[in-house]
Structure 1
Amino acid sequence: MLDSTLKTQLSAYLERLVRPVVLTASTNDTARSAEMVELLTEIAELNDKVSVAVDGTDIRKPSFSLTSPGVDISLTFAGLPMGHEFTSLVLALLQVGGYPPKVEQELIDQIKEIDGQFTFETYFSQSCQNCPDVVQALNLMAVLNPNVKHVAIDGSDFQDEVNAREVMSVPTVYLNGEVFGQGRMELGEIVAKIDTGSADKAAARINAKDAFDVLVVGGGPAGAAAAVYAARKGIRTGVAAQRFGGQVLDTMSIENLISVPHTEGPKLAMALEQHVKEYDVDIMNLQTATGLARKGDLVEVTLESGAVLKSKSVILSTGARWRQMNVPGENEYKNKGVAYCPHCDGPLFKGKRTAVIGGGNSGVEAAIDLAGIVAHVTLIEFDTKLRADQVLQDKLRSLPNVTIIMNALTTEVTGDGTKVNGLAYRDRTTGEDHHVALEGIFVQIGLLPNTDFLKGTVDLSPRGEIIIDAHGATSMDGVFAAGDCTTTPYKQIVIAMGLGATAALGAFDHLIRTSVPAETAAKKEEVAA
């Protein structure tokens, strides 16, 4: 299953193992089981510390566990962890084999001290770019703490289970049989949810921090660029981010970042964070800003935890989020048939009827991708014509299982109380109401700036974007902004990076013009006297 290049790379990684790893398979007579055994055998052949056993005791088949003799670890993959999850398998091999994780020691110690019994089950799809973070986080917790057990389940291999639990979005995580969370979650976020009191401790640590020279709020391309440019000036720089990478983490393919012919969002997000970490930057992840205010010579940023960060200047790079339809049923059936990431959740709708809302590039691309997986795709566009690039429109119209409905207003998401069963729309020409029976709806109608918490503090456009000048400055003295949350007309990664650099340089210029050394100020007072 593994080509020669991949085997060579994996063999080099496995040289880092410090203790044996046993891969124990549970199989049946399906072709999928045969593929799994082939994969495990090929891995074992690459290093003599890895061995394969078959016992068939796991209730899910095919599946395999990773253990090390004498070490209490409960970590299992149900299905084949290929695609985006192959990296999760490699990391699991290394960590079960005793290779130390690249995680802050404070967080490792916190995980080891968690008390209780935690059995996690994570449903993933191989095409989901959000899933590996969750799978890898829970795998690591299972390696570090015997109280934590984890099973990573490929939803496409266990459709009956997915249908029974009505899993319609990945990653979906169950804890002790109950839904724990859906969507991307970082290691620290998961630990905070199960470790009572950790949030208060984190807030206390943040409150105790001295004032920054530049505080960047947001960790997307704009925020990362701003942090790098500020830190290179030798000034005290901090980053408070809900998740490092921002919307980039939800982007599958990136082909227009100059000098990088092709990359994927999660890879770029990791590179952004690694670049920032090359400098002395205080990165505070899992932090959501809820308030902004000037207090004397400092700007204060209030966080969701109640903690307050202080800085001489602030750069807002809070990015944007998926725009919702705002129709009845949308919120009720979110993650129950209503989804926003076709790459992540598309495989869960294999053989089913779906709709895509939106006729721009993202909507048409989503419809094309889904057409290769689902039974049928209905694309609904509000305008009288599609707005996607012509090459995408031509591809879409060539697909036999796609219906395009234009000049249509979506009016309601319908369901049976537990999951989506259709969508209602109104023909804008005739005024007639229609209903389409389907199981999934993918909303692709653009983005909204994450600026709700700024209303009444800095000037915003009618669309809620932060108004900035050529230096990235906002209407509040000492506060700058960059990226998709601003009035820049083009929401592109390369433009966000440039705006981040501009805002950092603007903030530095502000600091050197407004910060007067104490002895200089005293001399001015003496002269004035």
Structure 2
Amino acid sequence: MLDAAIKTQLQAYMANIKLPIELVPSLDGGAKSAELRDLLHEIEGLSPLVTLAADEGDARKPSFLIRRAGTDIGVRFAGIPLGHEFTSLVLALLQVGGHPPKVDDDVIAQVKALEGDFVFETYFSLSCQNCPDVVQALNLMSVLNPRIRHTAIDGALFKAEVDERKVMAVPTVYLNGEVFASGRMDIEQIIAKLDTGATARAAEKIAAKEPFDVLVVGGGPAGAAAAIYAARKGIRTGIVAERFGGQVLDTMAIENFISVPHTEGPKLAAALEQHVKDYDVDIMNVQKAKKLVPAKTPGGYAEVQLESGASLKAKAVILSTGARWRQMNVPGEDEYRNKGVAYCPHCDGPLFKGKRVAVIGGGNSGVEAAIDLAGIVAHVTLIEFDSQLRADAVLQRKLYSLPNVTVITSAQTTEVHGDGEKVIGLTYKDRNSGQSHLLELEGIFVQIGLVPNTEFLVDTVGLSSRGEIEVDARAHTSQQGIFAAGDCTTVPYKQIVIAMGQGSTAALSAFDYLIRLAPADEQAKAA
């Protein structure tokens, strides 16, 4: 199953296995079981420490357990973990085989200290770029703590199970038979949901930190660039983020990042985080800003208050909080989120195979989503508010060439309908005639742009009518010592490369601000 190049690469990784492991299959007579058997045989042949055991007859077929020999430590995959999950397979082999994970010691200690019995099941899609983070986090937790078990399940192979549990979004995680969470999570976020004291302990630790010279709020491309540029100046730098990587984590293909012909959002986000860690930057993840209190005097400390209850102080603050998917804000949208209303066609599209769906939005994101979905679903209806599509001409030509796509313009979605468990349709209004129409369908993919994450800044810094932070050419805001960069600002063209450049500008401006401050003793006299 593996080509020569991938097999060579995998063999090199598997040289890091330190302890004997067993691959324990559960197979039937189907074609997928035959594929899995071939894959396991290939893996076995790549390391003398890997043994293929006898079939154990697990209820899910095809599936297999990666188990540390002579122990109960292991992780299970139901399906064939290739595609986006191939990395999850490699890491599982290494970690079960005793290779140390690349996570902080504090995180490892938290996982080991969790009390209780936890049986996790994660439904994933091989095309989902959000799923591997969740799968890998739970796999690692099951290796570190013997009271944690995890099975990663390919929803496409276990369709009856997906339908029975009404899984309509991936990743969806069950804990002890009940829905635990849906959507991207990292290991720290999972721990916070399990360990109710984790938030308080993290807040206490953060509150004890000394003030920073520069504090970056937000961990996307702009924030990462700002932190690197600030740290390179030799000043005390911190970065606080709700999730490192930001909106990039939800981006599939990136083909316009100069000098990198093609990459994917999660890969770029991981590279950004590693680059920041190469410098002396204090990273505080899974922390959301609640309020900004600017300094009262030039050279004084601004304060960033966090939802955890902690607060941080800094002489200069760089706001790079990014943006999130804009919602339709119509009746039924919230009620049927992850029950037919979705925001990531790459992740959730395979769950709607053979069904009828709608895409809301006629910009590049909406048209690209419709094109992708047309190859999976029975029919796509694209609904655009404007009188014409706004996507690039090349995308429009491709869209109109597809036989199972209908385009409706001058249409406003007014309501999402469901039967209490899942989406069954939507209503839209023809903006020319005012007449309402009902579309019967099973899925709705919302692609109508972004909204800046700036609610906590109202009445603190100048904001545009769209909620964007107003900045000048040097990334200054309306408050002295407060700078901003990235998709949360008024700078046009929300692009990764532009956000990085703006983050660098903000850091250089912050440094220029700091070196022009009066010496500390003069500040003390002025205060």
1:350 counterpart residue number? 353
1:316 counterpart residue number? 319
Matched, 1:453 2:456: yes
Matched, 1:333 2:336: yes
Deviation above 4 Å: which 4+ runs of structure 1?
none
**3-state SS, counterpart of residue 162 of structure 1:** helix
In the alignment, is the contact (CA less than 8 A) between 2:237 and 2:280 conserved in 1? yes
Give 1:108-123 correspondences, 5 Å limit: 108-123=108-123
Cα-to-partner distance string for 1:455-494 (whole Å, 9 max, x where unaligned): 0100100000000011101111110000000000110011
**3-state SS, counterpart of residue 157 of structure 1:** coil
1:408 counterpart residue number? 411
Matched, 1:69 2:69: yes
AA in 2 matched with 1:446: G
CA–CA distance in structure 2, aligned partners of residues 380 and 289 of structure 1: 35
CA–CA distance in structure 2, aligned partners of residues 209 and 295 of structure 1: 18
Deviation at residue 113 of structure 1 after TM alignment: 1.6
CA–CA distance in structure 2, aligned partners of residues 407 and 515 of structure 1: 58
Give 1:122-521 correspondences, 5 Å limit: 122-296=122-296, 297-518=300-521
In the alignment, is the contact (CA less than 8 A) between 2:356 and 2:442 conserved in 1? yes
CA–CA distance in structure 1, aligned partners of residues 492 and 451 of structure 2: 13
AA in 1 matched with 2:309: G
CA–CA distance in structure 1, aligned partners of residues 492 and 104 of structure 2: 39
1:30 counterpart residue number? 30
**3-state SS, counterpart of residue 156 of structure 2:** helix
**3-state SS, counterpart of residue 425 of structure 2:** strand
CA–CA distance in structure 2, aligned partners of residues 55 and 44 of structure 1: 15
2:99 counterpart residue number? 99
In the alignment, is the contact (CA less than 8 A) between 2:294 and 2:482 conserved in 1? no
Deviation at residue 294 of structure 1 after TM alignment: 2.3
Structure 2 stretches of 5 or more lacking a match?
Answer: none
2:57 counterpart residue number? 57
Cα-to-partner distance string for 1:1-40 (whole Å, 9 max, x where unaligned): 1000000000000111111111111011111111111111
**3-state SS, counterpart of residue 57 of structure 1:** coil
CA–CA distance in structure 2, aligned partners of residues 74 and 96 of structure 1: 6
In the alignment, is the contact (CA less than 8 A) between 2:360 and 2:384 conserved in 1? yes
Deviation at residue 71 of structure 1 after TM alignment: 2.4
Cα-to-partner distance string for 1:103-156 (whole Å, 9 max, x where unaligned): 111111111121110000001001111110000000000001110000000100
AA in 2 matched with 1:264: E
Cα-to-partner distance string for 1:142-174 (whole Å, 9 max, x where unaligned): 001110000000100111111111111111101
CA–CA distance in structure 2, aligned partners of residues 136 and 263 of structure 1: 20
Deviation at residue 432 of structure 1 after TM alignment: 1.4
Deviation at residue 521 of structure 1 after TM alignment: 6.8
In the alignment, is the contact (CA less than 8 A) between 1:376 and 1:402 conserved in 2? yes
Tell me the TM-score normalised to structure 1 length: 0.97
Deviation at residue 514 of structure 1 after TM alignment: 1.5
Seen in structure 2, the aligned counterparts of structure 1 residues 99 and 426 have a Cα distance that, compared at 3 Å, is: same
CA–CA distance in structure 1, aligned partners of residues 353 and 79 of structure 2: 16
* Deviates most, 316-325 or 63-72: 63-72
**3-state SS, counterpart of residue 501 of structure 1:** helix
AA in 2 matched with 1:111: V
Alignment RMSD: 1.2
In the alignment, is the contact (CA less than 8 A) between 1:314 and 1:480 conserved in 2? yes
In the alignment, is the contact (CA less than 8 A) between 1:211 and 1:311 conserved in 2? yes
* Deviates most, 458-467 or 392-401: 392-401
CA–CA distance in structure 2, aligned partners of residues 246 and 161 of structure 1: 32
Cα-to-partner distance string for 1:388-433 (whole Å, 9 max, x where unaligned): 1111111111111111111111010000011100011111122211
**3-state SS, counterpart of residue 259 of structure 2:** coil
* Deviates most, 231-240 or 40-49: 40-49
Cα-to-partner distance string for 1:238-271 (whole Å, 9 max, x where unaligned): 0001111111111111111111111111111011
In the alignment, is the contact (CA less than 8 A) between 2:15 and 2:47 conserved in 1? yes
In the alignment, is the contact (CA less than 8 A) between 1:241 and 1:286 conserved in 2? yes
Structure 1 stretches of 5 or more lacking a match?
Answer: none
Q: How many positions carry a matched residue from both structures? A: 523
AA in 2 matched with 1:341: C
In the alignment, is the contact (CA less than 8 A) between 1:74 and 1:148 conserved in 2? no
CA–CA distance in structure 1, aligned partners of residues 331 and 510 of structure 2: 44
Deviation at residue 515 of structure 1 after TM alignment: 4.0
Cα-to-partner distance string for 1:324-352 (whole Å, 9 max, x where unaligned): 01110001000110000000110111111
Deviation at residue 72 of structure 1 after TM alignment: 2.1
CA–CA distance in structure 2, aligned partners of residues 79 and 201 of structure 1: 38
CA–CA distance in structure 2, aligned partners of residues 231 and 129 of structure 1: 30
**3-state SS, counterpart of residue 120 of structure 1:** strand
CA–CA distance in structure 2, aligned partners of residues 301 and 199 of structure 1: 17
* Deviates most, 219-228 or 50-59: 50-59
CA–CA distance in structure 1, aligned partners of residues 70 and 294 of structure 2: 57
In the alignment, is the contact (CA less than 8 A) between 1:27 and 1:54 conserved in 2? no
CA–CA distance in structure 1, aligned partners of residues 234 and 98 of structure 2: 38
CA–CA distance in structure 2, aligned partners of residues 5 and 433 of structure 1: 56
Deviation at residue 199 of structure 1 after TM alignment: 1.0
CA–CA distance in structure 2, aligned partners of residues 521 and 214 of structure 1: 18
**3-state SS, counterpart of residue 123 of structure 1:** strand
CA–CA distance in structure 2, aligned partners of residues 70 and 301 of structure 1: 50
CA–CA distance in structure 1, aligned partners of residues 261 and 74 of structure 2: 40
In the alignment, is the contact (CA less than 8 A) between 2:68 and 2:97 conserved in 1? yes
Cα-to-partner distance string for 1:166-219 (whole Å, 9 max, x where unaligned): 111111101001111111101011112112311111000000000000000000
In the alignment, is the contact (CA less than 8 A) between 2:360 and 2:448 conserved in 1? yes
**3-state SS, counterpart of residue 192 of structure 1:** helix
CA–CA distance in structure 2, aligned partners of residues 444 and 459 of structure 1: 28
**3-state SS, counterpart of residue 318 of structure 1:** coil
CA–CA distance in structure 2, aligned partners of residues 515 and 500 of structure 1: 25
